[in-house]
């Protein structure tokens, strides 16, 4: 079995690429970083440091690489059995044209063997969105053929892979945590579901997508924004701060109450899941910056993402949200001059005020029944207390 994986960054090499290679699948990485591409293409292997209670270095083998800007991408798409991505949600639209051209070549070559595409991104139904981008770039006369022969499989992915500098100077070395979770929708595959150890196949994907989004992503973001606000550099040091930890835990419990009501999760098991997430944040072997985790606050404050989506769930089920509101206010306070979205968000707040800016990026209503939205007003109140150093 052969796979083409877009994205040879830390997540691509340390998570999805590793799982595929471990399953005996030949993986070809496609990336714009020519230095990384050349190194993989020359060596056909790279080291992965898996760190936790027990640390081990494993060698990923049976890999190759090509430039994602080359015509080689089309040839690969015409031949492989699986396409995966780990490029970031904003990059999917950029690579969709290349995938569309590759699918055209696959059709013209009359390759009718099943092909499945899985976008392994931190987003809800990422592959479904990727499919929309691809079909916009795909000539209409190929739509029926692609729908018949290509599966677009949504997934939920979870593994902390922070930037890490190799002690040996190896450009391909990557460090990951022991925990990993890759869950896919079994109903969306074209042909037989491939047997890949570490890939869990389910028929209720959205429950797992939202469990991860509302717990890991929500908690990670709030830890980052509060840590950054208090001048704490790493996620580990932030979550070891009693004040931050209490807010993060309670925010995850608030989002968890939504999950329990929506998907009938077992309350004790979900509490244990929250404990597991907190322990992962504490991992002393992972050095992850609060500034990095907090980047792109506008995306993270959007209606379908990790802060606002669970908040909307609290409206639906009439449950508590005090600590989620603190997390949202902390995101609005994220002032990172190295992050374009943080700069843009600050400019929106300066120009229109924090309430209008929040409503613009999140889709929250500014008013309810002719009165100011109390939730928006409460976030603004917390925001100003943070600005005035009274939080």
State the binding site.
Answer: 3-14
Residue with tokens 């013209």: 108
- Using alpha carbons, list the distances in angstroms from residue 375 to 30, 254, 294, 318, 346: 44, 15, 22, 13, 20
Report H helices in 138-266. 143-149, 205-212, 218-229, 235-239, 242-263
How many Cα atoms sit within 13 Å of 122 on the Cβ side? 22
Contact 383, 355 (CB under 8 A): no
Beta bridge mates, 75: none
Could you tell me if 205 and 183 are in contact, meaning their C-beta atoms sit under 8 angstroms apart?
yes
Q: Is the distance from CB of 242 to CB of 334 less than 8 angstroms? A: no
Q: Annotated binding site for NAD(+), which residues? A: 3-14
Which distant-in-sequence residues (6+ apart) come within 8 Å of 352 by Cβ? 360
CA–CA distance, 63 with 308 (Å, rounded to integer): 39
* 24 CB burial (10 A radius; 0-12, 13-18, 19+): exposed
Q: Which structure tokens are listed for 78?
A: 């015409």
Enter the tokens of residue 138.
């795909």
Helices (H), the chain: 10-11, 17-22, 34-43, 72-79, 92-108, 126-137, 143-149, 205-212, 218-229, 235-239, 242-263, 267-281, 290-293, 297-300, 308-317, 322-332, 340-352, 354-362, 374-387
In total, the chain counts a number of residues equal to 391
Strand order in the sheet with 63-67: 63-67, 26-31, 2-6, 82-85, 115-119, 150-152
């Amino acid at each position: 079995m052969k796979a083409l994986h877009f994205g040879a960054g830390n997540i691509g090499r340390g998570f999805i690429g590793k799982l595929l290679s471990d399953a005996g699948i030949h993986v070809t990485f496609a990336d714009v970083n020519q230095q990384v591409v050349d190194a993989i293409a020359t060596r056909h292997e790279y080291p992965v440091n898996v760190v936790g209670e027990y640390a081990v270095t494993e060698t990923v083998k049976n890999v190759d690489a090509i430039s994602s800007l080359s015509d080689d991408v089309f040839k690969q798409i015409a031949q492989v059995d699986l396409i995966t991505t780990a490029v970031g949600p904003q990059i999917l639209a950029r690579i969709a044209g290349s995938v569309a051209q590759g699918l055209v070549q696959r059709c013209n070559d009359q390759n009718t063997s099943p092909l499945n595409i899985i976008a392994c991104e931190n987003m809800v139904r990422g592959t479904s969105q990727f499919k929309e981008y691809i079909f916009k770039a795909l000539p209409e006369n190929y739509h029926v053929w692609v729908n018949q022969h290509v599966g677009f499989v949504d997934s939920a992915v979870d593994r902390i892979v922070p930037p890490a500098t190799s002690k040996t100077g190896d450009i391909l070395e990557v460090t990951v945590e022991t925990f990993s979770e890759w869950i896919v929708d079994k109903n969306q595959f074209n042909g037989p579901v491939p047997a890949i150890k570490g890939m869990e196949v389910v028929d209720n994907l959205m429950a797992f997508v939202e469990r991860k989004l509302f717990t890991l992503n929500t908690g990670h973001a709030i830890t980052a924004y509060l840590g950054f606000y208090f001048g704490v550099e790493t996620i580990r040091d932030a979550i070891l701060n009693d004040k931050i930890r209490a807010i993060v835990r309670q925010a995850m419990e608030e989002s968890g109450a939504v999950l329990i009501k929506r998907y009938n999760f077992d309350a004790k098991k979900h509490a244990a899941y929250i404990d597991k997430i907190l322990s992962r944040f504490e991992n002393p072997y992972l050095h992850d910056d609060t500034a990095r985790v907090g980047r792109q606050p506008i995306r993270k404050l959007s209606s379908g993402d990790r802060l606002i989506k669970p908040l909307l769930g609290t409206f639906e089920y009439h449950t508590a949200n005090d600590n989620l509101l603190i997390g949202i206010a902390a995101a609005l306070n994220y002032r990172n001059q190295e992050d374009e979205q943080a700069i843009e968000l600050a400019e929106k707040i300066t120009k229109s005020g924090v309430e209008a800016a929040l409503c613009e990026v999140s889709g929250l209503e500014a008013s309810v029944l002719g009165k100011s939205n109390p939730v928006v007003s409460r976030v603004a109140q917390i925001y100003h207390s943070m600005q005035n150093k009274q939080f």
